């Protein structure tokens, strides 16, 4: 297989994962507002809004800005999709999410969620897992 074919395969796998993640987010009641937002620090896969309690404000419902990292894995030879967000990736997500919040002037609560899409080695879907508050402050 050529290097280009490998890149195209990873891109297709990533696109499939993002589409499955969007379905999962919508099923969880979230509204997708942006995709593939880029800045010099990096890229955010999905940005959504969610209505949830804001405990810093006494638990009243608020609109949350939700930055969503999508990790898609075919097989587990390099670890599961859930395991793919290591400390280095979490630090990068915090940096890029903070840049997004500043760039957009968002003043409400925000968080970073992960959608882990796990497929078997043949590419058959096994699980789609929404992990809320997956990345917290360092």
Q: What per-residue confidence (pLDDT) applies to 138?
A: 66
Alpha-carbon distance of 62 to 70, in angstroms, equals 24
Q: What per-residue confidence (pLDDT) applies to 2?
A: 46
pLDDT (tens place) for every residue of the chain, 138 residues total: 444 556 677 788 889 999 999 999 999 999 999 999 999 999 999 999 999 999 989 999 999 999 999 999 998 888 889 898 999 999 999 999 999 999 999 999 999 999 999 999 888 999 999 999 999 876
Alpha-carbon distance of 71 to 83, in angstroms, equals 9
Question: In order of start, what are the domains of the chain with their CATH numbers?
Answer: 3-135 (3.40.1350.10)
Q: Biggest alpha carbon distance in the chain?
A: 56
Three-state helix/strand/coil letters over 4-73: HHHHHHHHHHHHHHHHHHHHHHHHCCCEEEEEEEEECCEEEEEEEEEEEEEHHHCCEEEEEEEEEEEEEE
């Amino acid at each position: 297989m050529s290097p280009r074919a490998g890149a195209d395969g990873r891109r297709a796998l990533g696109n499939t994962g993002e589409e499955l993640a969007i379905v999962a987010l919508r099923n969880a009641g979230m509204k997708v507002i942006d995709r593939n937002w880029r800045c010099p620090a990096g890229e955010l896969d999905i940005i959504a809004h969610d209505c949830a309690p804001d405990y810093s404000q006494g638990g009243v419902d608020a609109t949350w800005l939700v930055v969503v990292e999508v990790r898609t894995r075919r097989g587990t030879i390099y670890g599961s999709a859930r395991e793919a967000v290591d400390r280095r990736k979490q630090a990068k997500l915090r940096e890029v999410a903070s840049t997004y919040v500043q760039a957009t002037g968002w003043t409400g609560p925000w968080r970073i969620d992960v959608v882990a899409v796990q497929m078997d080695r043949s590419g058959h879907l096994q699980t789609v897992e929404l992990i809320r508050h997956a990345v917290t402050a360092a």
